[in-house]
Chain A
Amino acid sequence: MKACGDCKIGWQSNDAPRCRFPRCLHGWRVRNADHGAFLLAVCLGLRGGGSQCGALLACGFGFAGARVCGSSQAVLTQFLQSASSLWVAVLSGLVVNLRMAVYSAAMAPRVRHLSTPRRMLAAAFLVDNAFAFMQQRRQDKPQESNDHLLAYYAGLTCVLWPAWIVFCMIGSLAGSVIPASWQLDFAIPLAFIATLSTTVRTMPLFAAAVAGGVASVVLFSLPLKLGLIAACLLGLLAGLITERLMLLRKASV
């Protein structure tokens, strides 16, 4: 028996190198990311909730509870109010969320050993922020075991989700208390800038990021909100091309 080096309060037995501590609590203690996560949820919730009004107020709670759109909630609710039909609204929302298939694919090898209900649970909470935090965690501690990473994910969700719901409610009910001039929505890209700075390590990744960023603004007005997913694919293409070019150059030298 020795103390778990990560959370400092759990313990590990010698034969099983996994922290014998409830996962959510273990994850809660791990690193200081929970402060950042909480702050982010506050900003997101206040803005996301604040942009709803009238008939959509109640639905804001629904959005929060169903963990529908994470960082794109504010954009989406705004869009829903001006959508030409319900079908367009639903379809656009799904297109915006298509990027989460990538998170799902990245998560897949890590949850293979779990039972199906647990896999579904893991999938249900896989939002942008949780994925970004996990991505960063993996950069910080490449040696970390899969169990520890899942524990971190569980702990993260225990912070993110309740805070998200509570602050969405506060934002919806008292949206006008926070003046728009505070520009709280700016906290969302800021948090992703932090993650981006650790994710981009090689030239192809850099090319993918630049292409994705530029394309997302240029293609923003595509119908059905196709711009975001198109930007992601263009980024992927730019990354692949850069990779190929680097290979060619290496071959010619």
Chain B
Amino acid sequence: MNPLSVWDGWMVVLALGLGTFLIRYSFIGLFANRDMPPWLAHGLKLIVPAIFAAIVASGVAITAGQFGGWALWPRYAAALVALALAVRFKGNILITVVTGMAALHVFVALQNVLR
């Protein structure tokens, strides 16, 4: 297929922007004037960690649109280091991100040495 034209691109942006807003507003609008059933609130509590974990796992293991496999071990190791630090520092985002990035580059350097 030909690459998208600028016009096509803007149509996609417009459609996605509108659709995404509707997704975001869906439950806020739905439960504006009525109470949320308890089972829904309960399911919500369980699905939130699943979403975060899915974002984490696909962000760590998938690069350039495909599963990286064993070659990405520096990323897995750095994620584990970051997880340990996140638990230790009660989820401090700044510490987790900075040390995680540092760990990643240490492990990448190690990978290059070992190769």
Partner of A58, one of B9, B60, B63, B100: B9
Q: Are B48 and A106 in contact (CB under 8 A)?
A: yes
Closest to A188 in B: B59
Q: Are A108 and B27 in contact (CB under 8 A)?
A: yes
Interface digits, B86-100 against A, CB 8 Å rule (1 contact, 0 not)? 110011111111101
Interface digits, A175-195 against B, CB 8 Å rule (1 contact, 0 not)? 000000101011111111111
Q: Are A105 and B36 in contact (CB under 8 A)?
A: yes
A97 to B65, CA, bound (A): 17
Interface of chain B, helix or strand or loop or mixed?
helix
Closest to B5 in A: A55
Interface of chain A, helix or strand or loop or mixed?
helix
The 10 closest A-B pairs by CB, nearest first: A235-B50, A212-B50, A66-B17, A189-B59, A36-B93, A62-B13, A239-B46, A216-B54, A59-B9, A213-B57
Q: Which residues of B contact A (CB under 8 A)?
A: 1, 3-6, 8-17, 19-21, 23-33, 36, 40, 43-67, 75, 78-79, 82-83, 86-87, 90-98, 100-101, 104-105, 108
Q: Which residues of A contact B (CB under 8 A)?
A: 32-33, 35-37, 39-40, 43, 54-56, 58-59, 62-63, 66-69, 71, 75, 78-86, 89-90, 93-94, 97-109, 111-112, 116, 119-120, 122-124, 126, 128, 132-133, 135-136, 139-140, 181, 183, 185-200, 204-206, 208-217, 220-221, 227-228, 231-236, 238-240, 243
Instruction: Given A189-B55, A194-B97, output 4 extra A-B contacts at Cβ < 8 Å.
Output: A55-B6, A90-B16, A107-B28, A196-B56
